[in-house]
Amino acid sequence: MNRLTGQVAVVTGGAKGIGAAACERLAREGAKVAVTDVADDAGRQVVDAIEKAGGTAAYWRLDVTDENAVARVLAEVVDTWGRLDTMVNNAGIAGINAEPHEISAEDWNTVINVNVNGVFYCTKHAVGHMRANGGGSIINLSSIYGIIGARDIPPYHASKGAVREMTKTDALFYAKDKIRVNSVHPGFIWTPLVEDLGKNSPQGVEAFRKELDSRHPIGHVGEPEDIAAGIAFLASDDAKFMTGSELVIDGGYTA
């Protein structure tokens, strides 16, 4: 499919996992893709893979917690390719796993700073560029844990609930500008983030993965490409009547 020909997309946290798959899928659909991350080598590898497949991409180092850097990088992308159509707010960290009363304010704020403030900064600085081309699509990575609760990593779950609500609020503000804002709610997807949770779990990675598989009615965890497909759909005109929506891609986890 070539639904995004002529468009420009920025993906945060685009070097690995869901972000990398999203960069590759958006490029396959015809978009020029700004792969942004703090993992420079991995980010450049994503660009190489896209170029080898005949797509257009470039890497920008971008820590989403740095508002000035967000403003600068988005302006550079627009200087390079002339427009900004899709902003994928994907960068996220799992953070500390402890009971809420055991968590320091510093550990709490570390997660909120990346997962919530990062989305705020990128949205804030993307809107003006999108208005300049008469609209756009902002896609925020929440989680099934932005919808239901869980007894682990409390700041992460709070952050994903915040992203879900920011999405709805921003959708209402920017509908008049033809900027659609939607959230994506993955179940467990096997990425470095989830593998690291497995490595830190008492049962070890393999048993952890099997246990996660069993939690999804469909019988297994998802792949980054499953989420990338949803992101490409939300970026495209196929989703032109969707804003403020929650796209749940979870193998039946929350059914």
DSSP string for 94-149: ----S-GGG--HHHHHHHHIIIIIHHHHHHHHHHHHHHHTT-EEEEEE--GGGTS-
From residue 104, give the alpha-carbon distance in Å to each of 96, 110, 155, 202: 10, 10, 11, 23
* Positions in 132-151 near ligand NAD (CB under 6 A): 141, 143
114 makes contact with ligand NAD (CB under 6 A):
yes
Number of residues that bind ligand NAD (CB under 6 A): 28
Give the integer Cα–Cα distance in Å for 197 and 245: 29
Count of all residues that appear for the chain in the document = 255
30 makes contact with ligand NAD (CB under 6 A):
no
Which backbone phi and psi does 92 adopt, to 5 degrees? -160, 155
For ligand NAD, the binding residue among 50, 93, 166, 235 (CB under 6 A) is: 93
CB nearer to ligand NAD: pick between 16 and 32: 16
60 makes contact with ligand NAD (CB under 6 A):
no
Q: What is the CA radius of gyration of the chain?
A: 17
- Give helix 105-112 / helix 154-174 axis angle, nearest 10°: 40
Which span (34-42, 68-76, 120-128, 147-155) binds ligand NAD, by CB under 6 A?
Answer: 34-42
152 makes contact with ligand NAD (CB under 6 A):
no
CB nearer to ligand NAD: pick between 77 and 91: 91
19 makes contact with ligand NAD (CB under 6 A):
yes
158 makes contact with ligand NAD (CB under 6 A):
no
192 makes contact with ligand NAD (CB under 6 A):
yes
Helix (H) or strand (E) holding 183: strand 179-186
Q: Which residues bind ligand NAD (CB under 6 A)?
A: 12-13, 15-19, 37-39, 62-65, 90-93, 114, 141, 143, 186, 188-189, 191-194
